[in-house]
Amino acid sequence: MTNQDKAISNQLLKSAQIHMPMGVADSYRYWGEGKTVFVKSTQGGTIMDCDGQEFVDFRLAYGPIILGYRDGRVDSEVIKTITECGTISGFSTKLDSDVVSLMKDLCPQIEKVRFANSGTEAVLGAVRTARGYTNRNKIVVVEGGFHGLYDEMMWKSDVDNWDNNTQDAPDIAAFGIGIPESSREHLETVPLNDFSALKDVFDRVGDDIAAIVIEPIMGNCGSIAATQEYIEALRDICNQNQTLLIMDEVKTGFRVAKGGVQELYGVYADLTTFAKAMGNGYPVAAFGGKKAVMDKIHFGKDGVTHGGTYTANMIALSAAKATLTLLRDTDALFTVHTVGKAIQQRLSKVFNHFSIEHKFAGPDSMFGIHFGSLAPQNYRDWKQTDSDLYAEFAFNLIKKGIMLEPDSREPWFICEAHKTVDLDWLEATAMSAMQDTLEQIPNTAA
């Protein structure tokens, strides 16, 4: 059994609560008293907390780590750039076009790009550009998708509190207070893989829909994926209505395939957002797409405004250049997918041993686990899975040295450095964790 006396972490949380709300810099990092993690170091596919416990990490900072923490191939290029050029100048550098060229090598739908610092900023820029290009207002999003933390995208289908026995559909609720009702005015929400809902929203307000924004594989909803037929129908209906299709690849971009999720479907968006894996943990993001759309970004009363002090800083772009070059020119992603598949096979053995019905969702590089007989097709289906069992299992894994997000809506992320994971150890650890879980939650196994 690993160290469960988290004296240092608990003291750090107590001290941090004096200085920051909840004691954390990001609300999602707060897991409760005695459970909130404080990290001391990271390396490869592992992290160590401040109390000296080491974890094999399948959370990977919500997905940016695609090669491994502190990958020397990337870090050395960043250090070289800082030494020879600096960090930020407020002007352009050759790195700008170098990185865009790499993106275009990997993603044939990309003709022009603008950079950002986070996925939120990338989505905001893409949505603003779509509105400017179409001269329309409304944006359609898919239930269960996550598109950043700005007001308009902070409205969700409240599946957690949805009673599917008495309510036809979940209520639409804000993530919290402080979000004005007016920010919802131009937002429409539809369930994933629901063709009739898609047709209905276009019948109602199609002449004012600037764009549909979708994560074809939902990175905050257990990697539940759109069907091939749905993505093709989405592309067709956008074409028919002069609506732009925005694929949010903040999580899937350069992770699920070299060309992202659009390579898997063979269906291409008008605009795409990127972040996360494109910099192996360095804060870099981008949005881009068709030249005609992106060229709407220019000065003047008829142009879309885009900018940012830290946008395209040399640290971020040198990391992106190194990471994308490695993903393009090596078998890193093949390794990631091979390891992810092997891990799922071991976990499935554990679940079958305890007669626990389960379904995996999404690609091997970021798979979701859903306990139950149903393979979810949308966010509402997720409500039918046993998320309480998953959370208890997850916390038991964490106690034993396997780090993941305890919410089943977050996938398991795999990086190249996970090729060194001892699969026998992982299987034995998962077996022990599930045994503990079933003792805590009896009568769960089928």
139-155: pLDDT as tens digits = 999 999 999 999 999 99
Q: What pLDDT score does 1 carry?
A: 40
* CATH topology match: 1-70+386-416+435-446 vs 72-329: no
Q: What pLDDT score does 386 carry?
A: 97
Q: What pLDDT score does 441 carry?
A: 84
Residue 379, Cβ neighbours under 10 Å: how many?
24
Q: What pLDDT score does 3 carry?
A: 54
Listing DSSP states for 306-323 in one string gives ---TTTT-HHHHHHHHHH
User: What pTM value is reported for the model?
Assistant: 0.96
Cα distance between residue 329 and residue 411, in whole Å: 26
DSSP H helices, 148-223, are 195-205
Six-digit token string for 167: 């309510």
Kindly report the backbone phi and psi dihedral angles of residue 29, in degrees, each rounded to the nearest multiple of 5, phi listed first.
Answer: -85, -10
In sign, the C-alpha dihedral spanning 34, 37, 38, 42 is positive
DSSP H helices, 304-410, are 314-329, 332-353, 379-382, 387-399
Q: For 1-70+386-416+435-446, which CATH superfamily applies?
A: Aspartate Aminotransferase, domain 1 (3.90.1150.10)
Q: Which residues of the chain have pLDDT under 70?
A: 1-4, 443-446
Q: What pLDDT score does 165 carry?
A: 86
Q: What pLDDT score does 248 carry?
A: 98
The residues, any chain, with a CB within 8 Å of residue 183's CB and separated by 6 or more, are: 151, 152, 154, 155
Among residues 373, 442, 436, 430, the alpha carbon closest in space to that of 397 is found at 430
Q: Which H or E run contains 367? A: strand 366-371
Six-digit token string for 142: 């898919």
CATH of domain 72-329: 3.40.640.10
pLDDT single digits (tens) 156-187: 999 999 998 889 999 999 999 999 999 999 99
pLDDT single digits (tens) 91-110: 999 999 999 999 999 999 99
Cα distance between residue 234 and residue 267, in whole Å: 10
The full set of domain ranges for the chain reads 1-70+386-416+435-446, 72-329
Q: Name the one residue in this structure whose structure tokens are 């409205």.
A: 155
Which residues partner with 189 through β-bridges? Answer: 141
In sign, the C-alpha dihedral spanning 377, 380, 386, 387 is positive
Q: What pLDDT score does 191 carry?
A: 97
> 3-state DSSP call for residue 433?
helix
Q: Give burial (CB, 10 Å; 0-12/13-18/19+) of 44.
A: buried
pLDDT single digits (tens) 382-440: 999 999 999 999 999 999 999 999 999 999 999 999 999 999 999 999 999 999 999 99
Q: What pLDDT score does 426 carry?
A: 98
DSSP H helices, 45-194, are 72-84, 94-106, 119-134
Among residues 231, 53, 246, the alpha carbon closest in space to that of 141 is found at 246
